[in-house]
Structure 1
Amino acid sequence: MTDTLKDALRKAAMFCAYQERTQQDVRDRLKDWGVWGDDAEEVIAELIQQNYLNEERFARSFAGGKFRVKSWGRRKIQQHLQQRGITGYNLQQAMKEIAPDDYRQTLAALLDKKRQSLRDDNPLVIKQKLVRYALSKGYESELVFSVLGDE
């Protein structure tokens, strides 16, 4: 391994140690540093071997964090993971981070909080705004209507 590659590996290791990354994040950063092609793949392989880079770990922490902190729904989380190159097994593992009971409770709490901020006399308009809000957060329409129907 050349000095340039060793330097790139060291910088990439620090980049990955700071926060979980995907292979594509690292590839993009290496390209910014002037490392691409087989050299970039060699650095990525070394990062995986040293456990700095683990896409399953990234997917799990991303999904759990976005759900707990931002109250995103499964659809939005899946979409963002797919945009970052996470598919298949890693995507399935990420979705397991969201407990079904917590998911429904979070949606109900989100809708209650949103309802407090709405100022309208027409219940149909309020329901429409709540549905639109929940869908924009990435929740499934069946679940949204189910939660709104329970109230």
Structure 2
Amino acid sequence: MSTWGKNNPDQTPKMSWSLEESKGKLETFCAYQERCAWEVRRKLYEKSIKGDAVDQLIDTLTKDGFLNEERFARAFARGKFRIKKWGRNRITRELKLREIPTDLIRKALLEIDPDEYYEVLVQATEKKWEKTIEKDPYKKRFKVIQYLISKGFEQDLVKEAIGSIQ
């Protein structure tokens, strides 16, 4: 939600959708990219649609195949791992934020190949180790570990990866 309109008086405020128009707009919104019910609810809230209408629209989108939580979770996990190089912990945290059930999160994490996961972790470790400018080896090690944990990698795997490059 931008504040651009507050600073630019020439801009007209966001128009709210009618119920008839919202179904078509949401179909386009969901067809463009995988979405979850949480994102659709957020979009509807921005457009001033609340109450039972939200649940009806989400049910309709689910029945028509535009909205599928499992499909979203799997695509999200694959994409965030391959593109952003996030670890399992970060992906899990983000999916929980989007109110995805735990069993679907577990299924989504199966999309990540364990060998590829460890290879990405080692590459990230090497890259961060080379970039980190620190004279004290303990401080350097601490900084690299903190970075990798913030990316969502598990602590035991991070220590193993650091041990493999030293």
TM-score by length of 1: 0.91
Residue among 50, 54, 60 paired with 1:40: 54
Residue among 119, 134, 138 paired with 1:124: 138
In structure 1, the residue corresponding to 2:40 is in which secondary structure? helix
Alignment of 1:88 onto 2:102: yes
Residue among 99, 102, 109 paired with 2:113: 99
Residue among 63, 67, 70 paired with 1:56: 70
1:9 maps to 23
TM-score by length of 2: 0.83
2:13 maps to none
Q: Deviations over 1:54-112 (max 9, x none)?
A: 11111111111111111111101100110011122211111111111111110000011
Specify the code of the residue in structure 2 equivalent to 1:61.
A
Runs of 4+ in 1 over 3 A off after TM superposition: none
Consecutive unaligned residues of structure 1, counting only runs of 5 or more, are none
Specify the code of the residue in structure 2 equivalent to 1:120.
E
Equivalenced residue count is 148
Residue among 103, 110, 116 paired with 2:124: 110
In structure 1, the residue corresponding to 2:83 is in which secondary structure? helix
Percent identity among equivalent residues? 39
Shift of 1:42: 1.1
Relative to its length, the structure with more helix (as a share) is 1
Q: Distance in 2 between matches of 1:114 and 1:150?
A: 14
Q: Distance in 2 between matches of 1:49 and 1:14?
A: 15
Q: Distance in 2 between matches of 1:39 and 1:87?
A: 23
Consecutive unaligned residues of structure 2, counting only runs of 5 or more, are 1-17
